[in-house]
Amino acid sequence: MLEAVKEILSKQLRVDINSITEETNIVDDLGADSLDVVEMLMTIEQEYGVIVPDDVIATFKTVGDVARYIENNQQ
């Protein structure tokens, strides 16, 4: 799942996928804003069927946080 999240972020933010790691901070390292995060989560919801509640979104700091959440909540 980590690779899938990296690919989504790479395409969406036009960042080299090789520069994204599990510890990469979505906002600080990749420069994502709240709209970017919402777009990423919409893509994840569409592709993987994982609904992410608003209160959980605020807990995502790193790419690994997102990947772990998807893995633990996939239907």
Q: What is the pLDDT of residue 74?
A: 87
Ordered DSSP codes for 7-58: HHHHHHHT--GGG--TT-BTTTTT---HHHHHHHHHHHHHHH-----HHHHT
Would the pTM of this model clear 0.95, i.e. be above it?
A: no
User: Between vectors from CA 54 to CA 50 and to CA 57, what angle results, nearest 5°?
Assistant: 75
Q: What is the pLDDT of residue 68?
A: 96
Using one digit for the tens of pLDDT, what is the confidence trace for 15-40? 999 999 999 999 999 999 999 999 99
Please identify every residue annotated as catalytic.
33
Q: At what angle do helices 34-48 and 63-73 cross, to 10 degrees?
A: 30
Segment 47-66 shows an average pLDDT of 93
Select from 2.160.10.10, 3.30.590.10, 3.40.50.2000, 1.10.1200.10 the CATH code of 2-73. Answer: 1.10.1200.10
Segment 50-74 shows an average pLDDT of 94
State yes or no: pLDDT of 14 exceeds 80.
Answer: yes
